[in-house]
Every structure is written in C-alpha cells, then in structure tokens.
Amino acid sequence: MNAIHEQTALDASLLPLAGKKGLITGIANDKSIAFAVAKAIRALGGEIAITYQNDKTAKYTQPLAEALDAKLFLKLDVAEPGSLEGVIEQCGKEFGQIDFAIHSMAFCNADDLHGRVIDTTEEGFDAAMNVSCHSFLRMAKALEPLMAHGGSLITMSYLGAERVVRNYGVMGIIKAALESAVRYMAYDLGPKGIRVFAVSPGPIMTRAASGIANFNALLEADAVKAPLGRTVTIEEVGALTAFLCTPGSSGMTGQTIYVDAGAHIVA
C-alpha cells in the first residue's frame, strides 16, 4: 500500500463510527430525515443496512442506498407479521453485531390526524400505535441479542407529544407514548449498555409532513418564535442523530432531544 492509501486508511479508522454497524429505517426519498441521518452516519465511518417499505417505494430508495454504499437493502413492512424480525435476522447474519438502529417510521389515517382525538376509531388508533410506537419496542427486542456489547436505539418524535399542535390529532398521543417508551426502554436496557433516545425535530417539509394540514403556516410560525429565528434542516437533525451513535454520547440515555432552533422553549 502506498503512502497516500495508508494515510486514507488511517484517517478512516479514526472516524467516530469506524467499524460500527447499524440499521436505518424510514428513508422514503432524499428529503427524508432518515436519509440525512444515513449520510451523517456514513460520513462518520458507520456501515449501514437500509430498508424500503414496498416495491413501489424501492425505485426511489434503491438509488439512495447505492449512493450510501449500504451493505443491505431490505424490504420492511412493520404491519406485516415477522417482517421486522426477519430484517434484523438478516442484519445479524451480515454484520454479526449491531451498534445502532434508527427507527424513523410512523403512520396515521388522515381522518385521525386532522380530526378530534375522541373521534378516532379503535382500528385507526391501533394501526397508528402499532406502526409508530410498538414497532420500536419490537425492534429493540429483536436487536437485543445483537447488541450484547451495547449500542444506541433512536426514534423520531415531535413537539405534538408534549403539547397540542393543531392538525396533529391522535399522532400527538402516539408520540407521547413513544417518548414514554424511550424512558422505560432506557431503564430496561441500560444495564446492557444499550442507550435509547427520541430525537424531536422542529417542522421540516418531508413527505410525511406534507400530510399535515396547513403545514406551511406551522413552519412560518416556528421560524418566528424560535430563538435562532429559523427552522432547522434535515442535515442538522442527521448530524445530531449520528452523534447519539458515537462514543461522545456514551453518558446519555432516556432523553427526548429537541432539534428545533429552540422553538420548544417558547410558548
């Protein structure tokens, strides 16, 4: 190996996530928060497996997986029995061990999102809770044997978990449950060195956000009230999430961490 290649290899070995391996879910397109997370993790030297929901979405996500040099590109539909566990089994075969996992999945019927929470059907509530919250618990249980050395489990939340956000409906209740789950999971898994976090970004125009009525007005309102005088970018959310996978965050667990230019502190 010549000197240039030796230096490049040495530099790569010094990256915070060099040799670390993990699973990233929820990439829909290049505007997805999960895509920004994947880019940030790759920039820090991490190896990744990426999932797609179905054949229709695969045509959008496969080029992104290739650009990120993902080791695995796997179909994942958490509403399908055994799908999540099967994906994690394949990750175990490829990687041997898992150091981090990003849960960036949510679902809610439009009527339940925009309507009164007391009008939510049992079927709609169960579907939202299963995909958006319980799947994180299932992910942790399936990953636990592959994280015997510790690691980071990270999910995505929103301020609607803490206070009423118009047109966020029952999803606010689901996100509150998700943030509570993070605390209990951190308690249960802490003795094994597995750390658990919720990242709560400010409003960002993603495909999921486009389903929220009057979302542009929400963006403008947050920019006005935020101490930094703006909204945040997916790159900022990605960088913070990647940090939570590094040794630099080794003394942290159980938190909901806001990346919203400070908007959450202003009434």
**Positions in the chain whose pLDDT score sits under 50:** 1, 3-7, 10
CB 253 within 8 Å of CB 190: yes
- Predicted local confidence at residue 210, as pLDDT: 55
Residue 215's pLDDT is 65
Beta strands 47-52 and 21-24, pairing class: parallel
Confidence (pLDDT) at 20 = 98
Amino acid at 255: Q
The model's pLDDT over 197-215, given as tens digits with 9 standing for 90+, comes to 999 998 886 656 555 556 6
pLDDT score of 214: 66
How does pLDDT run across 19-57, given as a tens digit for each residue?
999 999 999 999 999 999 999 999 999 999 999 999 999
Provide the whole-model pTM. Answer: 0.91
pLDDT score at 1: 47
pLDDT score, position 9: 52
Residues annotated as catalytic (active site), given as ranges: 158, 168
Q: Specify the pLDDT at position 13.
A: 74
